[in-house]
Structure 1
C-alpha cells in the first residue's frame, strides 16, 4: 500500500505541473517485419507494438530487455544481475517460441532455439518491432509465440556523422559507446561499439551481506553497409559481435528452504556471439518486381566455470541460412503503386552443435557434432481494397530432415471504419516448433536427449479494436487472444537414468488473455502511456492418480500493468520520465522440495507463488545544446525487494548519470 501511495503522489505531481510545449513523437507508420514485405500499421491485421529510438532514449534504459517490459503481452525474467540469462516470453509461450531478428538475422542460440537478451545493449538500437501471435507461416519454427525484430541505427543524413556517450552509476557501473556513420549517393556505412561493465550485486542474497557481487562485462560491435550498384541493384552486409563475461551463483535443486536455492559462488560464463549476413537486391520489370538473396550466419561459443572455478562448459553452435524472396505487383506497373502484391520465397537452413573440450564432457558422444537441416517454401498475399479493408494471407511448408514436415497458415485483416477513428483488426495462425538440439541430443549429464520427440504445434487467433479520441491526441488498442499448444515439450525425471528426459506432454496447453495499450497527449508538454496484460496460461501435467491436471505456467504473470509519464519543462530542454510496473500472479517451480528426485512424475510440477511487486523508475534528459545531452535515472526508486525467479535476488535502488554528444 505504501508503494502504491508513493506512486500516486509522483503521478499527481507530474499531472499538476503540466504546461505546454513538448513535441510528441509519432510511431513510424510502417511495420517492417509484419510480413515478408513491409505493411502500413493502419492496415496490419496482427497485434503489434513498435518502439523507436526516441522511446528508448526517453526511458534511458541501457538494456533492451528492460524496455520490453512495457510492451503488452510480453514478460521478462532475468536470473539475477545484469548479464544473467534473460528470457522474453510472448503471450505465455516459452522463450524459445519467440523469434528474434537483429537487422534481419536470426540470433537464437542453435542449441536451445532461444536468444538470451542478457547481453543486448540498447545504445545502437533504432527500432524494435514486437509481433504477437503465431508467425510460423512467415518465419517457420521458433516463431509460434511471435517475433521481435530489432533494427540498428543508420546514417540519417548525407555526409559523416557520429555519436559518443558515457555513463557511470551504482555498483561500479561504467559504459562507453561510440558510433561513426557515413552516407552518400552510392551507399552508406555504419559502425558502432559499446562497452559496459558493472560490478553487480550478490544474486544469492547471502545473509549478512558477505557474498561476492555478480558482475558483467559486455563488449558489442556492429557494422552495416549498403552499396547502390545501379538504380535497380543494391548489395549490402551486416556484422555483429558480442563478447561478454557474466558472473552467477550456484543453483541448488531440492534445497530445504528458499534461502538455500541460490548460494554464493565464483561461477561464470563467457559467451562470444557473431552474427552476420550478405545480401543482394534487384528490381525487375521497371520496378514491378523486387528480388532479394540473403546469406546469413550465426556462431555462438560458450565457456563456463562452476562454483569452484573449474571449467565445466565449452561448446559451439552454428546456423547457416540461404534465403531468396521475390515480390511482384499484381495490379500496378510498380510495387510502390500496387494495392495487391504476391511474395514468394524459399530458404535452406543448417544448425550444428557440439562440445569442444573432452575434459568436461560426460561421455565421448558429446564431442560429436550434431546437425540438422530444413528447407522451406513460403507465399504471402497482401491486399488493400481501398474501402478501409486490408488483408495479409500467408502459407509456408517446411521440409525437415529429422522430423515430420509441416505446412502452416496465417491470415490477418484490418478494417478502418468510415468514421476514420475506429479500426478493427483480427488474425489467425498456426505454428510449429521443432525440438531444440539439446532436447533432441541431450549433451548434459543430468539431461538425456530424446530423438523421438515430436514438434510442438500451435493454433491461435486474436481480435481487437483500436480507437482514437480527443482529436487524435489519444489512442487505445484492446486485443483479446486465444491460443492452444499441443505436444508441448516438458521433462520427466527418470530414476533409472538418474536424469531428466524431455517428453511431449499429453493434452493441450492453453493461453488466453487481454492486451491493452493506450497513449494520451494531455498537453503539448505532458503525455501518458499505459500497457496492461491479463494472461491465463496453463499446461497439462500428470495427475496424482493418473490422467492429467492443469498447472499454471511458470514465469508468466497473470497481471502486468505499466504506466509511463513524460513531461517537458518550460525551458524546452529538460524532459522527465517516470515508469512504474506492477506484477501480480507470478509463479515459479517449487525447486525446494525433494520431489525432484523422488521418481514421482506428478511431483515435478509443484508451483510456488511469488510476491506481487511494483517497481518505479525515474529519469531525465537535458539538452545542454543542440548536440550535447545530459541524462540520468534512478531505477527501483523505492528499493522494492522482489523476485522474478524464486531464490534469485534482484537489484535494489541504483542511480546512473551519463552524457552523450552528436557530431
Structure 2
C-alpha cells in the first residue's frame, strides 16, 4: 500500500477507484492527479516513475484506456509493498517514508496473532508494555516507551476515546473482531493532536467495505468456558461502500485478585461496527462510522467482604462523520465531527456503587496543499468539549479546548524534513505550545539516518483536578521533551532498524503523602533503545519461515527518588515465527519481560517472566478454516500488577467462514 492520490486513490487505504480525469493521469509528489505530457517522479515511493501521456487522436482512445489501467496496476503493485500510514503526520504516507517510528498491525496480523484482547495484541509492538488487573475484561494499562499509561493518545477512526475522569482509555473493552488495522506511532505527537500524545499515538481503524464484497462468520470456544460468535458483511458499488459487523463474547474468567473475594470474575462484550462511505463526486467523499461495545465485567475488591459481588456495566462508543476533499491540483481537505462515550457504572451486590460517564464532542478541520512538488503544507484546527456525568459531585464537570496546528513536510534530494507546531487553548489551564522536528538522510548505502525532537503535554484529568478530598484545581499540565536518533535499512530478505531515545517529563502529577492531594511533584527521565528485524529466513532449520524479532531496553527513572518507574521493565524481547505451508498456517510468539516494581518506592517486586504462544490454521477449502490458539503454552505463573493473577495456559478453537465476490 502507498500514499493517497487525490483522484484515483481516494481512500487512505489506497482503494483504487476509476480516475476522475478524462484521460491518463499521473501521481504527483503529494498525491495530485491530472493530465500530463511530461514524465514525473513520485519521490515518496522510492522514486518509482508512473507516466501517462495525453493523446488527442481518437484512434488512440482505446490505447489510452489500456495505459490508464496499466498505470493503476503499476500503482497498486508499488503500493502493495508498504502500508499507508496517516497517523504520524495526519497525511497519507507509505510506512517506509514516515520519519517517526511507526508500526502497522494489519487485519491479517490480527487474524494470525494469538492475542485474545487488545492489550495482548499491542504488547507485541516494540516499545509497548501492558498491565492487567486480572483476566480478560479487566482494567488494562498501556505504557509506551516508558511513559505513564495516561501518556498515550487513542483514536478510533480519528475520534479521541478516553475517560476524562481517569485520563486513560479502556483498552480492555475494545474487541479485536471490529478492528481492521491499527497504526502505532512512538514518540511525542502533541504538535498534531494536543494532550496525551507524550509517549505516542494509537489509532484504530474499524472495518470498511472498500474494494470488495464479502461476508464472514465465526464461532469459537475455549478455556474458562469462553464463547465467541461474530458475523459481518461488506460491499461496494460505483458510488458507495459499506461494512457491517457484529460480535459477542462471554467468559467465566478467573479469580482476578488474591486476598479478595474467592470467585471467578466473568466478562461479556457485545459489539457492533457500521461504516458507510458515499463517493459524492470525483473530488468529495462522505464517510460515516460507528463503533459500539457494551457489556458487564466482574471484579474483586479487597476492601469489601468475601461474599460481596462486584461488577460493572460499561459502554464504549465512537461516532464519526467525515467529509474528504481532494482536487486534481493535489489540494486535500477534511472536515470531521465526532462524538465518543466512555460510560461505567459499578455495583456491589446489585446496588449502584459509583457512576462515571464521559461524553466528548470534537470538530476537526484540515487543509493540505502541495508546493513545487517537493513540499506539503498542512494547517488545521481541532475543537473539543468534554463533560462528566457522575455520582460524585465535581466542582467543574466540563471543559473545552481549541487547538490550531501547522506542519511542513519537505524533500531536498536525499534529505527529508518534517516540522510542526501547535497551540492549545484549554478552558482549564490556558495556553500551551508544542512542536516537533524530524529529519532523515537517505545514505548512498541504502540505509536511512533518522533524528527527531519533540515536546508534548498531558492535561490533568477531572479526578486530578476536582475529585472531592483529593483533586487540586491549580495543577499544571505535565510537560515533556524527547530526542531520538536511529538507523534503518534492508538486509538479506529483511528489514532492520535501531533507535535510541531519551524523554524527560516535568511536573508529573503525584500525591502529597500527608494530605493525599494531587500535586505537580514528580520528574522522570527515560533512556531507551529499540531494535527490530523482520524478514524471510532462507536457510537453516527455519528456512521459509517469516520471522520478526525485537529488543527493547529502557531505563525509566523517577528523578525525584532515582527509582525505577512502577510497572515498567528494563528489557523486553520478542520473537515471532510464522509459516504458510499449503493449506496450513502456523506460528509461535516468544517473549521475555524483565523485572518490574509495583510501587514508587521499589519495595514491591514483580518477577520477570517468559511466555510462549502458538496458533495453527487449517483451510478446509476456500471459504472455511479451523484455527487453534494456545496462549501461555508453558502455563507460566506471573503477574503484571501486584496481587492480580494472569490467566494460565489458555486454549481456544475457532471455526471461520469467509467468502468474497
- TM-score with structure 2 length normalisation? 0.84
Displacement, 1:609? 1.5
| Match for residue 562 of structure 2 among 546, 550, 554 | 550
Matched, 1:342 2:352: no
Partner Cα separation in structure 2 for residue 225 and residue 560 of structure 1: 40
Answer whether contact 2:577 2:587 (CA < 8 A) is retained: yes
Compared CA separation, residues 60 and 641, structure 1 to 2 (3 A): closer
Answer whether contact 2:130 2:142 (CA < 8 A) is retained: yes
Partner Cα separation in structure 1 for residue 278 and residue 288 of structure 2: 9
| Match for residue 215 of structure 1 among 258, 261, 266 | 266
Partner of 1:291: 333
Partner of 2:461: 436
Once the two structures are superposed, residues 2-28 of structure 1 have per-residue CA deviations (whole angstroms, 9 ceiling, x without a partner) of xxxxxxxxxxxxxxxxxxxxxxx9763
Residue 138 of structure 1 aligns to a residue whose secondary structure is helix
Partner Cα separation in structure 1 for residue 115 and residue 602 of structure 2: 35
Matched, 1:200 2:225: no
Number of positions where the alignment pairs a residue of Structure 1 with one of Structure 2: 577
| Match for residue 231 of structure 2 among 178, 181, 195 | 178
Residue 163 of structure 2 aligns to a residue whose secondary structure is coil
Residue 517 of structure 2 aligns to a residue whose secondary structure is strand
Matched, 1:645 2:641: yes
Q: Note the 1:248-287 alignment, pairs <5 A.
A: 248-252=299-303, 265-284=308-327, 286-287=328-329
Matched, 1:75 2:110: no
Partner Cα separation in structure 2 for residue 301 and residue 624 of structure 1: 42
Partner Cα separation in structure 1 for residue 382 and residue 270 of structure 2: 32
Partner Cα separation in structure 2 for residue 72 and residue 642 of structure 1: 21
Matched, 1:402 2:398: no
Partner of 2:38: none
Partner of 1:229: 280
Once the two structures are superposed, residues 390-449 of structure 1 have per-residue CA deviations (whole angstroms, 9 ceiling, x without a partner) of 2211110111121131111101122222233x1222211001111111111115xxx511
Residue 92 of structure 1 aligns to a residue whose secondary structure is coil
Residue 115 of structure 2 aligns to a residue whose secondary structure is coil
Partner of 2:452: 427
Partner of 1:501: 517
Q: Note the 1:603-614 alignment, pairs <5 A.
A: 605-614=601-610
Answer whether contact 1:128 1:151 (CA < 8 A) is retained: yes
Once the two structures are superposed, residues 468-515 of structure 1 have per-residue CA deviations (whole angstroms, 9 ceiling, x without a partner) of 111xx12211110101000011112445xxxx3111015x31011111
Partner Cα separation in structure 2 for residue 139 and residue 563 of structure 1: 32
Partner Cα separation in structure 2 for residue 315 and residue 404 of structure 1: 25
Partner of 1:563: 575
Specify which structure has the bigger relative contact order, considering alpha-carbon pairs within 8 angstroms and separated by 6 or more residues.
1
| Match for residue 303 of structure 1 among 327, 336, 345 | 345
Partner of 1:488: 508
Partner Cα separation in structure 2 for residue 408 and residue 294 of structure 1: 23
Q: Which runs of 5+ in 2 are unaligned?
A: 1-78
Matched, 1:127 2:181: yes
- What is the alpha-carbon root mean square deviation over aligned residues? 2.1
Displacement, 1:156? 4.7
Residue 34 of structure 1 aligns to a residue whose secondary structure is coil
Matched, 1:582 2:598: no
Partner of 1:190: 243
Matched, 1:37 2:91: yes
Partner of 1:317: 358
Once the two structures are superposed, residues 330-349 of structure 1 have per-residue CA deviations (whole angstroms, 9 ceiling, x without a partner) of 11xxxxxx331101001211
Partner Cα separation in structure 2 for residue 223 and residue 369 of structure 1: 34
Partner Cα separation in structure 1 for residue 313 and residue 320 of structure 2: 24
Residue 607 of structure 1 aligns to a residue whose secondary structure is coil
- TM-score with structure 1 length normalisation? 0.84
Partner of 2:387: 352
Answer whether contact 1:36 1:380 (CA < 8 A) is retained: no
Q: Which runs of 5+ in 1 are unaligned?
A: 1-24, 254-261, 332-337, 542-548, 590-603
Residue 430 of structure 2 aligns to a residue whose secondary structure is coil
Partner of 1:478: 498
Displacement, 1:624? 1.0
Q: Note the 1:460-475 alignment, pairs <5 A.
A: 460-470=482-492, 473-475=493-495
Partner Cα separation in structure 2 for residue 567 and residue 265 of structure 1: 48
| Match for residue 515 of structure 1 among 505, 525, 530 | 530
Partner of 1:600: none
Answer whether contact 1:42 1:414 (CA < 8 A) is retained: no
Answer whether contact 1:619 1:633 (CA < 8 A) is retained: yes
Partner of 2:72: none
Displacement, 1:206? 6.5
Partner of 1:594: none
Partner Cα separation in structure 2 for residue 26 and residue 60 of structure 1: 25
Displacement, 1:287? 3.3
Answer whether contact 1:43 1:389 (CA < 8 A) is retained: no
Compared CA separation, residues 350 and 77, structure 1 to 2 (3 A): same
Partner Cα separation in structure 1 for residue 630 and residue 307 of structure 2: 27
Residue 618 of structure 2 aligns to a residue whose secondary structure is strand
Partner of 1:15: none
